[in-house]
Structure 1
Amino acid sequence: MFTDKYKPQNFESFVGNVSKIDLLQNWLDNWKINQHQKTNKCALISGQNGIGKTLCVELFVKKNNLNPILISPDEKNDKEYFQEKIMPIIQIEKSITSKRNVVIVHDIDCYDDYGFISNIVQCMKESKIPMIATCNNRYDQSLKPIIAYCLDVKFLKPASSEIMKFIVPIIKAERLSIPDYSVKNMIEDSNSDIRNLLVNLQMGSFTLASSCIKDKNITETSIFDLTKSFMSQNIDMKEKYTLFWLNHDLLPLMIHENYLLNNIKMKDDCKYLQNISDSVHCLSDIDLIDHDIRSNASNWELLPYIAWNSIKSVSNCHAKTQIKFTEFLGKLAARNKNKHKDNGVLKTEKEVKPKVVKPKKEPKPKEVKPKVVKVKEPKVKEPKPKEPKPKQVKPKEDAVVVSNISQNDVSLNPLNPLNILDQIQPVKKTRQPRKTKTKPKLVIEE
């Protein structure tokens, strides 16, 4: 394969993004000094497909003599896996061979496990070794928790002139007669995807570079129109091969949904069933190849085989019935949702130990002692004889005569109020006769 044969072996032959590679090297050299900084834990390399992210990581590991620790999407990336296998490794700076350890996660935005991102964040917090991750869409919502801990390394599309310097020697080495303007058209059609460009060169699609597909806006057509054109009998194989690359992810699923309804009916039932069987075999091969590509990111060179199997699967089809959208995506989403729920239930069952609930002892009925109510008898206060308070009678000089009492006699002490009454002798008042005024008699002298 051209992708392996002309694969760059060092950064000198790497196409584009030289400044980003220098940024990565500077980050690794100063990682130990800045490891306590939050934004220095991981390097996140983002960019479109075929731009060289995976190749850059491989060359980077080779140049710095690192020991890569790969986190693969095939393995169960649950909390238990991270705790048992990943967490102990990220605490060890060097391997047995004295190589510096580094954790690598490819296509981190393609993981459908909701807990995977949180586990990666936990690794970044506790890691004592550098981490490198790659993704296609750096602005994916699922990557928000990771961005805060990452050095953002955005790979840009290389310029056409840089790709020309890389492709032209390959064309000469393979003795292909392709003019320069056709090479430029191929670069534009591949959207600067070098891997796709090498695959097209090998599969002989360079002849399409100079051919004119009149409708240049074909990339703007919907998936329904694309499927209808792909299943039509009026388009030859070369044009179908070009159409396949417009949406190579979704087109096989659309074929799987519509090939039965659009299979050309034959008078001979055996021939009709044989055509359906051929289509099924092709779709089965597509599924196997696609699984191998997804599980191993270095097998993208198998993608053209999916293209040719897709073309073969519709060789006995037409596009006369209405095209239906694939139901596989909806079923896959429901399955992943249920799988996530089941994993959550299993985790909680493992983590949370069932508590043995002891039966509550029934409280013994308390003996209710009858309260003896003591009736207090009302105390009848005996009336105390009130001693008459002696009235202090102010003695008048002319009315009271006090006998002479010696002060030394205690029983007859005048200061004792009880003895005062005995000492007082009432004096009867005698009425004095009223004085009658006598009028003077007038004496008249004769």
Structure 2
Amino acid sequence: MWSEKYRPQNISDMIGNEESRSSIIEWFTKWKKGTKPLLLVGPPGIGKTTIAYITAKQFGYDMVGLNASDVRSKSRINEILTPVLGNVSLLGIPMIFIDEVDGIHGRGDYGGAEALIDILKEPTVPIVLAANSDESDKMKSIKKVVKTISFKPIPPRLLKVYLENILSKENAKLSPGSLIKVIERSRGDIRSMINLTQSLVTGFNPQTEKSFENINVEDGINAFFKANSIDEARSVLYSMQIDPKLKIDAFYSSIITSNLDNQTLAKLLTIISEADMLYGKIMRTQNWRLLRYLNEILIGLYQNNERIRYSQYNLSWPLLNRIRWDGKKIKAFSSIMAKNFIYHLVHLLLCVFLTCYYVLKIKN
């Protein structure tokens, strides 16, 4: 997918919002324990998430990526973030990134916002948040404990230059009229602009009878499993204009965290495996026309199932493994230490008792 293929690899590859990018670099350069977390605010698709990942890599941090659905409850926050905040030296140099933080509030907030604010007040690792808007009353409590950096939509002239450069590299063309329409329709959303351009050039995204607006991952996954027919599910699937790997990962994480019977789980994971193998072939061969078959594989996941809801546990595999295995080691070590402590305490008390006994016996 072009949006993945041409994703910026360093900060200098990005376009627009130069002052905001400079402020982020300065924040990372000067960060120390207790530094106020960052809140990146701006419309979707302009690079907030991208710059968070780039800077994490550039400054040597292990990214722990979350979004609103991961931090809506206090228990969920403790489950995910406590191992990170409590074992900083064990986990290398972690950095927390929470996307769509403005989506935490509302009926779905089960103490998550309050628990998150407590963490934001006394950060022990770098924390970066991203939101599409900070104007709601519900964001005021978060804004009080963070440093806000605003991102503005990319000017059309910069988008035009950027898009023409991609088309040149792909040896592809769009008519001047189509180029203008793509830029206007994207409304400053770089990701949407690139996806739409690839759709027009390669035809990888076929039209469906019922069209949805370009929807985000969480809404897309939930709408997919709530769809009343396979045609409606297919329309939702094609409307999720996101990187194919992210789409596969989103379905995978949502399925394995749902309460499913073993037979259903095995069936759905087999389909996920097929999709992942296709994506692997695309990456090896760079034959992006194969991407048209990805959604037709994923549509096999469809079932009107209220048990499957979007969930993302977006830790990198190396970090997950370190938490999992080192956590087991620490637990085992703590258990041994506890047993040894009790043993030595009993031994000490016995010695004290025997000493007192013989002292009294000698005196008598």
Q: For this structure pair, what is the TM-score category when the shorter chain's length is used for normalisation?
A: 0.5 to 0.7
Of 137, 148, 169, the residue aligned with 2:144 is 148
C-alpha change, 1:282 and 1:30, in structure 2 (3 Å) is same
Give the distance between the partners of 1:28 and 1:95, measured in 2 at CA.
21
Would you say the 8 A contact 1:47–1:136 is kept in 2? Answer: yes
TM-score, with structure 1 as normaliser: 0.47
**Structure 2 segments unaligned to the other structure (5+ residues):** 251-290, 297-305, 307-364
Question: For the residues of structure 2 that align with 1:282 and 1:46, how far apart are their CA atoms?
Answer: 36
**Structure 1 residues 156, 206: closer, same or farther in 2, change over 3 A?**
farther
Give the structure with the larger helix fraction. 2
Aligned counterparts, 1:128-143, within 5 A: 128-143=124-139
Paired with 2:151 and 2:145, the residues of 1 have a C-alpha distance of: 19
Distance (Å, rounded) in 1 between the aligned partners of 2:37 and 2:190: 27
Of the three residues 218, 233, 236, the one matched with 1:284 is: 233
Number of the residue aligned with 1:6: 6
How many positions carry a matched residue from both structures?
A: 253
1:90 matched to 2:88? no
Q: SS of the counterpart of 1:203?
A: helix
Structure 2 length normalisation: TM-score? 0.57
Provide the rounded CA distance (Å) in 2 between the counterparts of 1:192 and 1:291: 18
Structure with larger RCO (C-alpha < 8 A, sep 6+): 2
Whether the aligned pair in 1 keeps the contact of 2:28 and 2:59 (CA below 8 Å) is no
Q: CA separation of 1:196/1:81 partners in 2, compared to 1, >3 Å: closer, same or farther?
A: closer
Partner-residue secondary structure (3-state), 1:55: helix
Displacement of 1:297 in angstroms is 10
Change (3 A) 1:102 1:193: same
How far apart, in 2, do the equivalents of 1:301 and 1:181 lie? 36
Matches within 5 A, 1:413-428: none
What is the Cα deviation at residue 90 of structure 1? 2.1
In 1, Cα distance between equivalents of 2:47 and 2:31: 23
Q: Distance in 2 between matches of 1:253 and 1:95?
A: 36
Whole-angstrom distance in 1 between the partners of 2:207 and 2:240: 25
The offset of 1:109, in angstroms, is 1.4
Determine the structure 2 residue equivalent to 1:392: none
SS at match of 1:132: strand
Structure 1, unaligned stretches of length 5 or more? 208-236, 260-278, 310-330, 332-446
Summarize the Cα distance change of 1:299–1:140 in structure 2 as closer, same or farther, 3 Å threshold: farther
- Residues in 1 aligned to 2:101 and 2:199: alpha-carbon distance in whole angstroms: 31
| Aligned match of 1:71 | 66
Match for residue 326 of structure 1? none
Contact 1:244 1:251 in 2 (8 A): no
Identity of counterpart residues, as a percentage? 19
Cα 1:292–1:170 shift into 2, 3 Å: closer
User: Which structure: larger Rg?
Assistant: 1
- For 2:163, the equivalent position in structure 1 comes to 167
Cα deviations across residues 388-435 of structure 1 (Å, max 9, x unaligned)?
xxxxxxxxxxxxxxxxxxxxxxxxxxxxxxxxxxxxxxxxxxxxxxxx
Q: Which amino acid aligns with 1:115?
A: G
- Distance (Å, rounded) in 1 between the aligned partners of 2:117 and 2:62: 21
1:39-96, Cα deviation, whole Å (9 max, x unpaired): x421001111111111111111111111122335565753234345523532555454
- 2:147 partner letter: L
Contact 1:92–1:101 (CA<8 Å) still a contact in 2?
no
